[in-house]
Amino acid sequence: MTAAVQTDPVVRTPYGDVRGRYEDGIAVFRGIPYAAPPFGPRRFRPPVPPEPWDGVRDAGSFGPTPPKPPYSEAFEKYLSDPVVPGDDCLNLNVWTPEPGPAARLPVMVWLHGGALTRGSSAVPVYDGATFARDGVVLVSVNYRLGVEGYGLFPDAPANPGLRDQLAALQWVHESIAAFGGDPDRITLFGQSAGAISIGALLAAPQAQGLIRRAVLQSGPPEAFERDKVRRMVRRMATRLKVPATAAAFAEVDRDLLLRVQGDVGRLSSPVLGGPSFGIVVDGDLVPRDPLEALTAGDAASGVDLMMGWTSEEYRLWLVPGGLLERVDRLGAVALAGAMARCHCGTEVPRGYRTLHPEAGTADIVGQIVTDHLLRVPLHRLADAHTGSSYVYEFAWPSNLPGLGACHALELGFVFDTGDVPESRKLAGEGGPQHLADAMHSAWVRFATDGDPGWQPWDDTHPVRIFDAAPPRTAYGPRDAELALWTTAPTPEPQPVPAMAPTPTPPSRTTELRSVVRRLRLPGSVRRQ
């Protein structure tokens, strides 16, 4: 007998019909526009709906990716970032096991990371087929990046990239039933810059009622200092020899704008900070700092939360290019830089050294910065939502030398895409499938009914540990380090740490600045 041939699935959206493809029994729709191309008169402006189309629009391949500079050579060996040319870059993708309004399946909406300057929904690690295989409708989103999405100008609204994400979320809420999803069971999940974006959306008045659950992976709710973002724009304007206005930047060749953005962005660092692109308080979509809003009870009422980190986030910042060894060699200067970056006194690095006497300087600096920027605020968020929050730590070390349990390593396990080459660029060969099974199923369970399979956050601080062993719950595994931040006094201007064996010559400060300039990071706990 001849097997029945599945015809391509067709679904109606608010702007026209789209034709997807069946791939191994999963209906996949790629490149669906949720907003009009953000160029021409719409450049640096909030998104507007796309033009409706007649007939059936083909949705068989990924849509254009937003403009972005490439990763540096040091990071390209670990991270993939495909480019799809074209202007219609405000698009999304849907994987569904059962198109049609009768299914009412849980929905997960993915916001990628990449420092708000890189990344896209076309990265193969983010393939949604495994979630659809397990009964979830998966949506992945493209949004404006870098100066196009997060430049701060006097003549344009702030946060257009975040406004893109809100428009996509509204599209999902209005349209996903036709794809088999339940608009009342939308879980927003993202990593690094995607998680930071989720924090802002959870606190945004315009997003209330659109999100049932949220997962923040390696990114805290936060708003950047407006002056940091302004300085990024001003530095670009100086290089371009144009005014620091949206009107002037809109006249600049797009490729030139990306080259200058990439060059200026090399001076940013998660260790010492510096100007960078980020979400800012704008009095509208972001009326106040998202972490303050979420911990004060002003937002996210009734939203289940899951959040976590990797054990050694900082190794993705420092291992490429051999920078881990260079920071170790800098010793006291690197520690002083971390103290200045995190606004802490000598008590904090002394405490870390006492808790981890075997650790090198780079590991101490990395953990200090990670805790300050990521774990402390996520602990605050969990404390404000006890009983409806779940916390995890990803602790499996990469099979590649030096990376350890670094930033972004968990993604191939969450998506259960460890077999694609792009996942192996970070994990190496032979990542444990049982770990992917455990993490992926926890994310599916959380999206389905709000319970990932372990104890919710309470005053015992339960943290689910994912590593080579079967998943287990540890109680307060980071409490000793995080307590240093609550007991340390407000510092005066920072001296070199007392633990330093000898005073450090001024030339090593110059060397540290050189290291920072060479980082060329794809992002940080704050920005990726």
Q: Count the Cβ atoms, other than its own, within 10 Å of residue 128.
A: 23
Rounded to 5°, the CA angle 406-193-444 comes to: 75
DSSP conformation letters of 172-240: HHHHGGGGTEEEEEEEEEEETHHHHHHHHHHH-GGGTTT-SEEEEES-------HHHHHHHHHHHHHHH
Amino acid (one-letter) located at 414? V
Return the residue matching tokens 């315009």: 206
- Rounded Cα distance between 27 and 11, Å, is 10
Catalytic residue among 173, 372, 407, 440: 407
- Could you give the C-alpha distances from 296 to 214, 265, 292, in angstroms and in order? 18, 33, 6
- Could you give the C-alpha distances from 471 to 131, 308, 485, in angstroms and in order? 20, 14, 28
Catalytic residue among 80, 192, 276, 311: 192
Q: Which two tokens stand for residue 265?
A: 């962005």
- Rounded Cα distance between 477 and 133, Å, is 34
- Could you give the C-alpha distances from 393 to 330, 366, 403, 524, 528, in angstroms and in order? 29, 16, 16, 17, 18
Active-site residue flag, 313: yes
Q: Please say whether the beta carbons of 108 and 127 come within 8 A.
A: no
Task: Report how far apart the first and last C-alpha atoms of the chain are (Å, whole number).
Answer: 52
Give the pairing of strands 105-111 and 91-96: unpaired
Query: What is the four-CA torsion angle of 91, 96, 102, 107, rounded to 10 degrees?
Result: -70
Q: Count the Cβ atoms, other than its own, within 10 Å of residue 44.
A: 21
> Residue 34 in 3-state DSSP?
coil
Angle between helices 332-342 and 506-519 (to 10 degrees): 60
Active-site residue flag, 192: yes
In 3D space, the residue among 129, 181, 127, 166 whose CA is nearest the CA of residue 11 turns out to be 181
Catalytic residue among 148, 222, 313, 393: 313
- Rounded Cα distance between 320 and 522, Å, is 11
Amino acid (one-letter) located at 498? A
- Rounded Cα distance between 120 and 286, Å, is 23
The runs of H, that is alpha helices, within 2-90 are: 73-76
* Active site amino acids: 192, 313, 407
